């Protein structure tokens, strides 16, 4: 799990979302990096997402279910914790989703009656409107990171992103929030953890870092009085 801390402090991550999330590769991956990093949602939860679950005006998404591949078949059901949740999204993620929706609408218009989503208005689809296979979007992470890194100035290692899995963006999200002092119960609610104790256990290394800093923070506050 230490990779979450390493990625969270990587300077390039704080500057990469618009470029990483805006790289068009294959079946509409344009927003594949933005929402996982901006919401902390699981892969299956995002692939289940419909547009009527997304409120771009108020900056919120409702996570109501999850999708997975079992025995070669796409299966949809409840979230891992069995409960729905509403997650706020920042202005940058809202913009990524707005641009993604425009591109999707253009592709839907171009495909016409052959659009395969039917009545399922998925946020993430292939260029033909098909629901995306979970492994497809996971494999795109390496492609998007490579494309981002290839555009960076030569010889500037701090501008490049390290290798990462799609699921690592969920950990980056949680780690950044915890390091910023967001209460554990708030982070747990965003991640969909049934109990904050799960968050405490999974991110124990981050909590330990904060505990180590507590004495120094106390000294600074008292010293400023």
Residues in the chain, how many?
225
Determine the Cα–Cα distance for residues 9 and 160; give it in Å rounded to an integer. 13
CATH number for region 2-223: 1.10.443.10
Closest CA to 144 of 67, 36, 1, 33: 33
> In angstroms, what CA-CA distances link 75 with 35, 56, 67?
22, 27, 6
Helix-then-strand count for the chain, H and E: 10, 5
What radius of gyration, in Å, describes the C-alpha atoms of the chain?
19
Largest CA distance in the chain: 70
Write the pLDDT tens digit of every residue in 48-101.
Answer: 999 999 999 999 999 999 999 898 888 999 999 889 999 999 898 898 889 889
pLDDT band of residue 36 (cuts 50, 70, 90) is low
Tens digit of each residue's pLDDT (9 = 90 or more) over 174-218: 998 998 889 999 999 999 999 999 999 999 888 887 777 888 888
Domain boundaries, the chain: 2-223
Query: What mean pLDDT is reported for the chain?
Result: 80
pLDDT at 224 over 80: no
Choose among 56, 9, 3, 7: nearest CA to 31: 56
Asked if residues 16 and 217 have their Cβ atoms less than 8 Å apart, the reply is no
Q: Hey, which bits of the chain come out as E strands?
A: 54-55, 60-63, 66-70, 73-77, 85-88
Torsion-angle region of residue 112: left (phi > 0), alpha (psi -120 to 50) or beta? left
Q: Give me the sign of the Cα torsion angle 12, 16, 19, 22.
A: positive
């Amino acid at each position: 799990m230490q990779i979450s801390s390493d990625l969270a402090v990587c300077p390039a991550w704080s500057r990469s979302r618009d470029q990483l999330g805006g790289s068009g590769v294959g079946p509409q991956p344009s927003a594949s990096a933005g929402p996982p990093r901006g919401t902390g949602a699981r892969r299956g939860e995002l692939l289940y997402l419909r547009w009527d679950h997304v409120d771009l005006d108020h900056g919120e998404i409702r996570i109501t279910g999850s999708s997975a591949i079992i025995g070669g078949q796409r299966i949809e059901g409840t979230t891992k914790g069995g409960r729905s949740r509403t997650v706020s999204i920042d202005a940058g993620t809202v913009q990524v989703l707005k641009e993604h929706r425009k591109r999707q609408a253009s592709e839907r218009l171009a495909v016409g009656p052959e659009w395969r989503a039917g009545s399922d208005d998925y946020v993430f689809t292939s260029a033909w409107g098909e629901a995306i296979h979970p492994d497809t979007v996971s494999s795109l992470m390496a492609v998007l990171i490579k494309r981002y890194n290839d555009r960076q100035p030569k010889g500037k290692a701090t501008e490049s992103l390290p290798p990462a899995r799609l699921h690592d963006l969920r950990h980056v999200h949680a780690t950044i929030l915890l390091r910023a002092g967001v209460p554990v119960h708030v982070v747990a609610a965003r991640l969909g953890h049934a109990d904050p104790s799960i968050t405490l256990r999974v991110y124990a290394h981050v909590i330990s870092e904060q505990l180590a800093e507590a004495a120094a923070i106390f000294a600074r506050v008292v010293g400023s009085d």
